[in-house]
């Protein structure tokens, strides 16, 4: 730094960078590191070779090297690589005793270092010091018995030396520690190299007890099979299955056992093994067994056996479905159908019991509709397939007890139970069942079925009692009244039939009164009681002025074989027209006039037809304002109205409107005529 005249320190000028744009070639940090590494790897000049010419120089060299090694050891006593290098250098100088001394000193520092023991023993073996090597291996396996390298090296050394007994002894000492599987396999392979099969078998026996895994049992059995000891191999598989038991059974073991029997052409044994596994293994572990079983049957089985396998697989699938959702009644139906086709009654019965145990959780009929068919199918199975009548009766009784009759019932169950008893010729019991059903939960279907049964049995007094009970239960049902009257008609009791009809039409509320009245009228017509029929029509017209009643009344009068029938029919039409006119029902009035006009076309004269034609209305299109629900206007709507001649006389405005319409039509015709005259060209002026 320079000091100015005024005593101030002058700082050097900093060069300003004029161009701050990036350089065209950029150097990355990765490139800098790579270059630095390459420079490190550049080899320098090798050190000069030193030639030792006499013993003094050799001693000096050795002293210098030993001093350097000892210094390194003193600085880093626990770093074993320094000891190993030191011992290796001593070995290179043929100083075996000194090398041993170095290794022993190192072992005093860290006797658990595996590499140190290995280097020490390898040194002795290289220098053919076998007893020293044995001594080292013995010490190593005593101190570190879990170090497998020592055992492998020791047994290999003894075997290479031809000391088979010594190697076997080392293996035996090793096996006492129950090492890992590979050690046992090494021992077994050692014995097999010298054809000692009995010894290998004994080792396998101990091996599968120390490591009781499926793969080891299978290896043992394959060893016996490979050496053609088929009986022993089968015995091994059987012992393995017994050893693991049903709780810990493994599908791999079963498949291996079955394939062994298949290889021995014992297909029946293989089939039994597969079936045993399917019966005792959990269903979720049977997928591969099913697959192998199917393959086996396709290769060696007949059609029945293949179908049996497929059925077993489907059974497994259904089991999974019903376990995941016990209320899946469709799965139960499919499962039951499968077992029924097999023909095993006991299994099917047991499955039905399992199925019906899954009662719907809620007491709503829609949830019971599928469930109830389980009971129905169960009862039919017991009756038709198992032929067990007592059990069928028990099934029906249990089903009736389980249904909550106070909330809902199923008429089909009661009827099936009653029909079952009829098939057993137990008529009294069938009547009791149907009577109980009507008493607990009366339904129209139950009444009708009970009545039909009694009619077939020709017990008409019982039918009358049942009809009375039925009508007490539901007096609004017109069909029941008509059926009751029909029964009495068949029996020929006309007065009783008429009384029933009178009671029926006297009911304050009916579901189909028009059908009932028609039936009553048809009954009187069949009895040719025409005066009574007319009175019935008049009574009906007092209640309703429907156009169909008037038309039917007129047709009835026309059908009577009487010379005055046509005039009476015409009178009915006139009375109907007057009644419709008073009721102001324009459309029904029009329908009646059209029916009357058709009647006059067929049976009347020109005068009578003209009388009807005069009363026919005119069809007029009108408009009316439409309003929405909230009262706002929604525009105009066109509709057709009927103007009768009587209405025109009562309303003079209608005549005025008709005249205005005619005037407008004439105006349109005149305008069209004028336009045509203008369009026609006149004569030319040139002529």
DSSP 579-625: HHHHHT-HHHHHHHHHHHHHHHHHH--HHHHHHHHHTPPEEEEEEEE
For 363-380, write each residue's pLDDT tens digit.
888 888 888 888 888 888
Write down the pLDDT at residue 12.
66
Q: Choose the weakest-confidence range: 39-48, 153-162, 245-254, 400-409.
A: 39-48
Is the entire prediction scored with pTM above 0.75? no
* 638 part of a folded domain: yes
Q: Which two tokens stand for residue 289?
A: 């067994």
**Does residue 222 carry a pLDDT above 70?**
yes
Site of tokens 């939960």: 441
* 628 part of a folded domain: yes
Number of domains in the chain: 1
Structure letter (DSSP) for residue 284: G
- pLDDT band (50, 70, 90) for residue 682: very low
For 170-194, write each residue's pLDDT tens digit.
999 999 999 999 999 999 999 999 9
For 535-577, write each residue's pLDDT tens digit.
777 776 677 767 777 767 666 666 676 666 666 767 767 776 6
* 636 part of a folded domain: yes
Give mean pLDDT, residues 403-417.
Answer: 83
Q: Would residue 19 be called left, alpha or beta, if left means φ above 0 and alpha means ψ between -120 and 50 degrees?
A: beta
Q: Would residue 528 be called left, alpha or beta, if left means φ above 0 and alpha means ψ between -120 and 50 degrees?
A: left
Residues 6+ apart with CB under 8 A from 106: 80, 83, 84, 87, 113, 116
Residues pairing with 639 in the sheet: 622
* 624 part of a folded domain: yes
More confident residue, 130 or 292: 130
Q: What percent of the chain has pLDDT over 70?
A: 74
Most confident of the ranges 29-38, 126-135, 414-423, 631-640: 126-135
**Does residue 129 carry a pLDDT above 80?**
yes
- Strand 9-10 to strand 618-627: parallel, antiparallel, or no bridges (unpaired)? unpaired
More confident residue, 686 or 560: 560
The distance from CA 249 to its chain's CA centroid, rounded to whole angstroms, is 29
For 53-92, write each residue's pLDDT tens digit.
788 888 888 898 899 999 998 988 888 999 999 999 999 9
Write down the pLDDT at residue 686.
40
Give mean pLDDT, residues 291-295.
Answer: 71
Domain holding 639, by residue range, is 619-652
* 639 part of a folded domain: yes
**Does residue 685 carry a pLDDT above 60?**
no
For 591-630, write each residue's pLDDT tens digit.
767 776 776 667 766 767 667 666 676 666 666 667 777 7
* 643 part of a folded domain: yes
Q: How many other CB atoms sit within 10 Å of the CB of residue 684?
A: 6
Write down the pLDDT at residue 116.
92
* Contacts made by residues 43-49, CB under 8 angstroms, sequence distance 24+: none
More confident residue, 36 or 80: 80
Continuous segment of H or E residues that includes residue 636: strand 633-643
Q: How many residues does the chain have?
A: 687
**Does residue 502 carry a pLDDT above 80?**
no
Mean pLDDT of the chain: 78
Write down the pLDDT at residue 203.
92
* 625 part of a folded domain: yes
Give mean pLDDT, residues 271-298.
Answer: 72
* 635 part of a folded domain: yes
Say how many CA atoms lie within 13 Å of 241 toward its Cβ.
Answer: 19
């Amino acid at each position: 730094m320079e000091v100015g005249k005024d005593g101030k320190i002058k700082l050097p000028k900093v060069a300003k960078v004029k161009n701050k744009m990036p350089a065209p070639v950029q150097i990355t940090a990765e490139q800098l590191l790579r270059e630095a590494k390459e420079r490190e790897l550049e080899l320098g000049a090798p050190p000069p070779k030193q030639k030792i010419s006499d013993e003094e120089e050799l001693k000096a060299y050795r002293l210098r090297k030993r001093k350097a090694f000892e210094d390194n050891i003193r600085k880093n006593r626990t770093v074993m690589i320094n000891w190993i290098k030191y011992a290796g250098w001593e070995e290179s100088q043929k100083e075996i005793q000194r090398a041993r001394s170095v290794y022993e000193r190192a072992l005093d520092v860290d006797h658990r270092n595996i590499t140190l023991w290995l280097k020490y023993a390898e040194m002795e073996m290289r220098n053919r010091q076998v007893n020293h090597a044995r001594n080292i291996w013995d010490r190593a396996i005593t101190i570190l018995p879990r170090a497998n390298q020592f055992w492998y090296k020791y047994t290999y050394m003894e075997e290479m030396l031809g000391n088979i007994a010594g190697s076997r002894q080392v293996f035996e000492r090793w096996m006492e520690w129950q090492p890992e599987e590979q050690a046992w396999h090494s021992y077994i392979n050692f014995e097999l190299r010298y054809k000692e099969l009995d010894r290998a078998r004994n080792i396998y026996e101990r091996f599968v007890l120390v490591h009781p895994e499926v793969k080891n049992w299978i290896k043992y059995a394959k060893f016996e099979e490979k050496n053609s000891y088929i009986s022993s191999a089968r015995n091994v598989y059987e012992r393995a299955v017994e050893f693991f038991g049903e709780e810990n059974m493994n599908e791999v073991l079963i498949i291996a056992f079955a394939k062994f029997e298949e290889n021995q052409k014992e297909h029946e044994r293989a089939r039994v093994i597969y079936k045993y596994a399917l019966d005792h293994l959990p269903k979720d572990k049977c997928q591969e067994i099913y697959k192998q079983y199917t393959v086996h049957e396709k290769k060696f089985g007949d059609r029945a056996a293949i179908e049996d396998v497929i059925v077993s697989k489907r059974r497994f699938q259904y089991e999974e479905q019903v376990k995941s959702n016990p209320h899946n009644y469709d799965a139960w139906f499919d499962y039951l159908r499968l077992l029924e086709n097999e023909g095993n009654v006991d299994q099917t019965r047991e499955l039905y019991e399992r199925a019906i145990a899954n009662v719907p959780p809620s007491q709503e009929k829609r949830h019971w509709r599928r469930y109830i068919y389980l009971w129905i199918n169960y009862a039919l199975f017991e009756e038709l397939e198992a032929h067990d009548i007592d059990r069928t009766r028990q099934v029906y009784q249990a089903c009736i007890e389980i249904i909550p009759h106070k909330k809902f019932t199923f008429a089909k169950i009661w009827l099936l139970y009653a029909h079952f008893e009829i098939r057993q010729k137990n008529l009294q019991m069938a009547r009791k069942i149907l009577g109980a059903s009507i008493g607990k939960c009366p339904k129209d279907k139950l009444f009708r079925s009970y009545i039909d049964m009694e009619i077939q049995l020709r017990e008409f007094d019982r039918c009358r009692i049942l009809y009375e009970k039925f009508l007490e239960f539901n007096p609004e049902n017109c069909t029941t009244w008509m059926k009751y009257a029909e029964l009495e008609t068949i029996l020929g009791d006309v007065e009783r039939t008429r009384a029933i009809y009178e009671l029926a039409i006297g009911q304050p509320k009916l579901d189909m009164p028009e059908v009932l009245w028609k039936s009553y009228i048809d009954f009187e017509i069949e009895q040719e009681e025409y005066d009574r029929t007319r009175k019935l029509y008049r009574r009906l017209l007092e209640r309703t002025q429907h156009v169909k009643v008037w038309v039917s009344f007129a047709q009835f009068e026309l059908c009577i074989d009487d010379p005055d029938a046509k005039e009476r029919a015409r009178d009915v039409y006139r009375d109907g027209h007057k009644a419709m006119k008073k009721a102001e029902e324009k459309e029904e009035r029009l329908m009646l006039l059209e029916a009357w006009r058709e009647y006059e076309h067929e049976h009347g004269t020109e005068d009578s037809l003209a009388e009807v034609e005069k009363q026919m209305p005119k069809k007029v299109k009108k408009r009316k304002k439409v309003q929405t629900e909230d009262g706002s206007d929604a525009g105009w709507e066109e509709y057709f109205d009927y103007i009768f001649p009587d209405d025109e006389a009562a309303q003079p405005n209608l005549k005025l409107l008709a005249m205005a319409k005619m005037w407008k039509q004439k105006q349109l015709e005149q305008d069209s005529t004028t336009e045509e005259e203008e369009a026609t060209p006149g004569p030319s002026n040139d002529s």
